[in-house]
Amino acid sequence: MTSSNQPTVLVVDFGAQYAQLIARRVREAKVYSEIVPHTITAAELVAKNPAAVILSGGPSSVYETGAPTLDPHFFDSGVPVFGICYGFQTMASVLGGEVARTGLSEFGGTALSVIEPNAKLFAGLDAELNVWMSHGDAVQAAPAGFTVTASSAGAPVAAFENLDRRLAGVQFHPEVMHSQSGQAILEHFLYDIAGISPNWTMTNVIDEQVALIKAQVGSKAVICGLSGGVDSAVAAALVHAAVGDQLTCVFVDHGLLRKGEAEQVAHDYVAATGIKLKVVNAQSRFLEALADVSDPETKRKIIGREFIRVFEQAAREVVADAGTAGEEVEFLVQGTLYPDVVESGGGSGTANIKSHHNVGGLPEDLQFSLIEPLRTLFKDEVRAVGLELSLPPEIVWRHPFPGPGLAIRIIGAITQERLEILREADAIAREELTKADLDAQIWQCPVVLLADVRSVGVQGDGRTYGHPIVLRPVSSEDAMTADWSRLPYEVLARISTRITNEVREVNRVTLDVTSKPPGTIEWE
């Protein structure tokens, strides 16, 4: 994503639930960051030429057999290092300090006392701060050459720094919003200790990506699949900025879209961008391929496979339409984001939480080379790029929608009837959320049809045996974690009443109040 002259901070993930949040906070400080697994060697870290390294928290104890650690020689490389929680303890242990289980665990909001008035990390901040702790072990003694700068009741060494070696660390989590002045502490490390200038902006991203895309594509043709979502819309606009009419967007109407989406893509987006668009009606093809399929991963793989096959045919037609016989469309643009990469097992050695055609569902004999200009960006950064590229706000701020569409919001086999039921229920929910001016307050609101479940109801003085609908409103910053949105009861009541009144096959509306983790945002 970045050019060779762009300073990069590497976040070493020791299994922390907040590793992605650390990376986000660094980017919010206008410094580019990436996540790397804790299995990375010191030599590999140095080879990446980072401007600084941040060691994340994690669930292990540093003195346990097999606990993740970092080669001591790395701390002699001259690279600035900042340790957080477990990363802080790892730094202390490796450099000769003392870490022990004291019996004074601290979890949640904790009073922190700054005991060194000249500390760089706490310059200009209050002497008493309320920070977010989550630890059972504590650093008892700092390594030689380090100044202890803060303490708490359960952590006699709650922060330290060695300015000569540009090393520092804290026991608490400055990246979480609950830590008072947490962002300021992180920025003190980045700017004052590591000496990094805050110059990474969305303009940089656009300029760098345009240059990279031009170099990769040359004079060859490119296609991009538009789904109607912000990711593909921004990815296409970015590539269009680089190669102009060499790009043709293909909109595949696979029959799994929400109400009105096909019209929005075919008219609004083209009007706003001037991008060449080819519309492919493949509804019958996808429905036939999905017939009698209930397993969610099988659905995703089928959709990914058919999606690419449709694209391959569309590419041949694009060549024929252009009258450029003998040339092939070599490149395919995808709106893959950083959370997609991380959750699909890339970027930090994580488990494969989900697979879809943006990352995990592509066929092995794919005939295109991929262009993924958003691969290291979070959703809010993608929106910022979209605004920089002058995309309409209604496209930029559209709620996320999965590539497999309504197929993964129907629990059970896909049929035309079930799609129509869900489409109508979803349209009602979206309309009422917009009327209540709640679109900007939630991340998204999947509407789920429990097609294989029936519930008893009473409608029109008669007994019914209809489908339940699940509302899944969630609040999130980047979809890595999420909480259910506390929507006003009156809004929920209107949605429920309208769905059960207007969608005759539905007689029950329920609310999903599960956070992520443990539940994912989508049901399948």
* DSSP assignment string, 349-377: ---B----TTTT---TT--SEEE-TTTT-
Contact 63, 93 (CB under 8 A): yes
Q: Find residue 8's DSSP bridge partners.
A: 32
Nearest Cα to Cα of residue 353 among 345, 364, 361: 345
173 carries an active-site annotation: yes
Q: What residues have CB less than 8 Å from 44, skipping those under 6 apart? A: none
249 carries an active-site annotation: no
Copy the structure tokens of residue 318: 């694009």
Instruction: Annotate 334-363 with b (16+ C-beta within 10 A) or e (fewer).
Output: bbbbbbbbbbbbbbbebeeebbbbbbbbbe
H helix runs in 334-466, sequence order: 338-343, 379-388, 393-396, 416-435
User: Rounded CA gap, 125 and 122, in Å?
Assistant: 5
Per the residue annotation, which of 135, 173, 356, 357 is the catalytic one? 173
Over its C-alpha atoms, the chain yields an Rg (Å, rounded) of 26
Contact 173, 133 (CB under 8 A): yes
Task: For residue 222, give the 3-state DSSP assignment.
Answer: strand
User: Rounded CA gap, 335 and 449, in Å?
Assistant: 27
Nearest Cα to Cα of residue 450 among 402, 498, 412: 412
User: Rounded CA gap, 33 and 53, in Å?
Assistant: 9
User: Rounded CA gap, 99 and 191, in Å?
Assistant: 28
Neighbours of 107 (CB within 10 A): 11
Contact 469, 509 (CB under 8 A): yes
Per the residue annotation, which of 34, 38, 85, 312 is the catalytic one? 85
Triad 85, 87, 91: Cα angle to 5°:
120
Copy the structure tokens of residue 204: 């940089």
CA atoms within a 13 Å half-sphere pointing along the CA-CB vector of 434: 10
Per the residue annotation, which of 34, 106, 161, 175 is the catalytic one? 175
Nearest Cα to Cα of residue 494 among 409, 445, 436, 442: 436
Contact 143, 99 (CB under 8 A): no
Residues classed as catalytic = 85, 173, 175
